[in-house]
Amino acid sequence: MADTVPASCFVAAGTGSRPCSVAVEPRWLVIHPEGEPPVRWPYAALACDVTGDERAWLSLSCSQPLDAGVTAVVIRDPAVVAAVAARVDDPCRGVLEGFASGMRSHAARQRRAILLALLGLAVAVVAGWWSCTRIAPEIAAETMPLATEMQLGELLAEGMLAGERRITAGPAHEAVQRIVARLTAVADNPGYTFTVHVVDDPRVNALALPGGQIVVFSGLLTEAGSADEVAGVLAHEIQHVLHRHGLKQLVRRLGGVAVIALATGGGDLAGLAGRADELVQLSYGREQEAEADRDGLVLLHRAGLPPEAMASFFERLQRRTPADLPEFLSTHPDTARRIEVLRRSAAALPAATREPLAIDWGRVLSSLE
């Protein structure tokens, strides 16, 4: 069956060119010049060359043309290139496959450029807004529209997770999504849409980005002794989002001079995008960590989950040797004192009906092996 593709195709005839469509048939490449009868070229007689100022077009010619009026057909449509490549012999096949590979690389570069541009736009919005308000970073972050913060968080997440292997299905993914849904259902949420990314990575870590983006590394799941302990970590991270801790740190890190430079076009947007990992992993202050701990315990209590599970996870990490401390523990200082405060605060919460998470943790761990 022929496959007619009326896209990005031109025929050259004499000194002019005109649009066309092509049909990839079993024996022939059939060219349909606009307003003229079709021309059939046998695949064995095709010659291929990459042309154009940016080497972005593929020129096909025929050594045995049945119609001398058409000297070449110029295409770039991936479907046509792939279909013709499957029917020709070397060296024309090598040219076609090299062109297709180059197009894929070019498309990937374009996607990265768009991402950088969007990230730059989001940062420019933050910069312009800050320079207009002329107020402290904490107050500035508190007054930023949620929609702007969520857009910024999405761009930062994409920049940070580019190239990472994400777990998007299976027991681990389902367990994390269920835990977050349970917690956010009872949270004092001003309007965030929470998105959780599970990354196949042995690092024992989780982090919250501005706007409701949460990243959980599989190493944290394999380290945890139960779904309740993971819920304790995620309750803590959710509170970082709800208190806008990540956004405040981001605004503080950029600083007034850098923000104004970005707003006036003097900042290095490409360099800023390249530091996405650094920007989204800013360390929180002690007050912010204590606030996330305290309100995270309350969130666990509301959800019918054991608040003491948060302290249990910290204790599990603390039992590691100093040389093997995970990233999560290294970014949460004063661990011994925090465990003591967590235990005491959890015990002080009023009695509540527990509603265990219906998650087979052994199945989750098996899926990560």
- The Cα-based distances of 187 to 86, 190, 204, 269, 288 in angstroms read 56, 9, 25, 35, 18
Higher pLDDT, 19 or 17: 19
Asked whether the predicted pLDDT for residue 69 surpasses 70, the reply is no
High-pLDDT (> 90) share of the chain, %: 32
Higher pLDDT, 345 or 162: 345
Closest CA to 174 of 367, 43, 369: 367
The rounded mean pLDDT for the chain is 79
Sign of the dihedral defined by the CA atoms of residues 77, 79, 80, 82, in that order:
positive
Asked whether the predicted pLDDT for residue 7 surpasses 60, the reply is no
High-pLDDT (> 70) share of the chain, %: 76
> In one letter, which amino acid is 25?
E
* pLDDT attached to residue 66: 61
Closest CA to 159 of 271, 264, 327: 271
Give the list of residues 6+ apart from residue 2 with CB closer than 8 angstroms, or none: 23, 24, 25, 30
The residues that bridge with 33 in the sheet, in sequence order, are 20
* pLDDT attached to residue 177: 96
CB-count burial class (<10 Å; 0-12, 13-18, 19+) for 347 = exposed
Contact between residue 133 and residue 143 where contact means Cβ atoms under 8 Å apart: yes
Number of H helices, E strands in the chain: 15, 11
The residues that bridge with 21 in the sheet, in sequence order, are 32
* pLDDT attached to residue 23: 84
φ, ψ of residue 91 to 5 degrees: the values are -85, -5
Q: What is the mean pLDDT of residues 116-129?
A: 75
Give the list of residues 6+ apart from residue 248 with CB closer than 8 angstroms, or none: 137, 138, 141, 288
Q: What is the mean pLDDT of residues 17-34?
A: 82
Q: What is the mean pLDDT of residues 45-51?
A: 82
Neighbours of 192 (CB within 10 A): 20
For 252-268, the pLDDT digits (tens) are 776 544 433 433 344 45
Torsion of CA 181, 185, 190, 196, to 10 degrees: -10
Contact between residue 93 and residue 242 where contact means Cβ atoms under 8 Å apart: no
Neighbours of 358 (CB within 10 A): 8
Domains of the chain: 4-89 (2.30.29), 109-367 (no CATH)
Q: What is the mean pLDDT of residues 141-166?
A: 81
Asked whether the predicted pLDDT for residue 191 surpasses 80, the reply is yes
Asked whether the predicted pLDDT for residue 146 surpasses 70, the reply is yes
Output the pTM of the full model.
0.60
Asked whether the predicted pLDDT for residue 25 surpasses 60, the reply is yes
- The Cα-based distances of 242 to 150, 184, 285, 288, 321 in angstroms read 12, 10, 16, 11, 33
For 215-256, the pLDDT digits (tens) are 999 999 999 999 999 999 999 999 999 999 888 887 777 654
Contact between residue 143 and residue 134 where contact means Cβ atoms under 8 Å apart: no
Give the list of residues 6+ apart from residue 81 with CB closer than 8 angstroms, or none: 58, 75, 96, 99, 100, 103
pLDDT-derived band at 182 (thresholds 50, 70, 90) equals: very high
- Pairing between β-strand 9-13 and β-strand 72-75 as defined by DSSP bridges: antiparallel
